[in-house]
């Protein structure tokens, strides 16, 4: 073989090796392993090997990285957060649990067991007229709100029964969270308190000798009152209602609305639509009260 032919043969072999190496690199780029994503190149990493940089693939989509997060949360970060919901409990967990007033005691029935709780001063004149259970209660921790009457006045009281404890101290609501002192003189009908479905508020109706009726609400945060101006307490005038109307229940409705149901002494029913605002405050629309 002449020098020229040997030179041509060596050149052809070198080209063959180069093409084969290039083909291997192309396969690595276009066909990554099935279980591994393509490798993302970091252009700022000056320590990467230059040969590896020719093989690795930048899979990041600059358009997707700048998009809004999932859900497009546009809430104002400076806005006050809504109150946390009351703890969620299985309603069936409270089946067989009820409370009834019995003179100066409250009879708390848990299945077949009866506990005597909330004993009032036996030397005093107060006696219970009504009692209800906070909707966030569990079998191990039951919070009760009760209405007592003495000397022509109604008082709201509350207590928590933990692990079946009988000797439970009953506490009075703060003075500014008590029913109107003129109620008995206007109509001796017990103001029935009801809890909101979310457990964050307690409501009842006040009236006086002038026939003024108002819906009273008190925020609930481990007890009466929250200390926050938005939801600590509120009063709404209800000119449509006659005196001595009693609340029956407070039920959830669509969205942020709920309905307070009431009945007067003649059996006429009333519905009051209440809105829970973002800051936890309650509000009534101009046409919130409906008869029948």
Say if residues 109 and 81 touch (Cβ distance below 8 Å): no
pTM of the predicted model over 0.75: no
The residues spanned by each domain of the chain are 3-65, 102-172, 175-292
Q: Distance between terminal CA atoms of the chain?
A: 115
Say if residues 148 and 128 touch (Cβ distance below 8 Å): yes
Which among 254, 291, 261 is positioned nearest to 276, based on CA atoms? 254
Question: For each of the chain's 292 residues, which pLDDT tens digit applies?
Answer: 444 444 443 444 443 433 334 443 333 333 344 444 444 444 444 444 444 444 344 444 443 333 333 333 333 434 444 444 444 445 557 889 999 999 999 999 999 999 999 999 999 999 999 999 999 999 999 999 999 999 889 999 999 999 988 767 899 999 999 998 888 776 778 999 999 999 999 999 998 878 899 999 999 999 999 999 999 999 999 999 988 899 999 999 999 999 999 999 999 999 999 999 999 999 998 899 999 8
């Amino acid at each position: 073989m002449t020098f020229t032919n040997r030179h041509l043969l060596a050149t052809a072999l070198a080209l063959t090796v180069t093409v084969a190496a290039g083909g291997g690199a192309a396969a690595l780029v276009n066909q990554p392993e099935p279980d591994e994503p393509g490798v993302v190149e970091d252009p700022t990493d000056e320590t990467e090997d230059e040969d590896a940089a020719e093989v690795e693939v930048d899979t990041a989509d600059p358009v997707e990285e700048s998009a809004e997060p999932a859900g497009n949360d546009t809430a104002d970060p400076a806005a006050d957060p809504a109150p946390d919901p009351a703890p969620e409990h299985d309603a069936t967990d409270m089946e067989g649990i009820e409370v009834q007033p019995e003179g100066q005691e409250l009879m708390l029935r848990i299945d077949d067991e009866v506990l005597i709780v909330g004993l009032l001063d036996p030397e005093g004149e107060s006696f219970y007229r009504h009692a209800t259970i906070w909707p966030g209660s569990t079998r191990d921790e039951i919070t009760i709100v009760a209405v007592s009457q003495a000397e022509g006045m109604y008082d709201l009281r509350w207590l928590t029964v933990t692990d079946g404890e009988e000797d439970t101290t009953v506490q009075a609501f703060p003075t500014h969270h008590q029913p109107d002192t003129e109620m008995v003189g206007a109509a001796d009908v017990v103001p029935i308190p009801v809890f909101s479905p979310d457990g964050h508020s307690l409501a009842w109706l006040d009236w006086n000798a002038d026939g003024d009726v108002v819906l009273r609400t008190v925020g609930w945060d481990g007890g009466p009152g929250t200390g926050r101006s938005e939801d600590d307490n509120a009063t709404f005038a209800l000119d449509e209602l006659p005196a001595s109307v009693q609340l029956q229940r407070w039920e959830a409705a669509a969205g942020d609305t709920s309905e307070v149901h009431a009945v007067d002494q003649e059996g006429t029913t009333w519905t009051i639509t209440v809105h829970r605002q973002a800051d936890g405050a309650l509000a009534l629309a101009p046409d919130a009260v409906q008869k029948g």
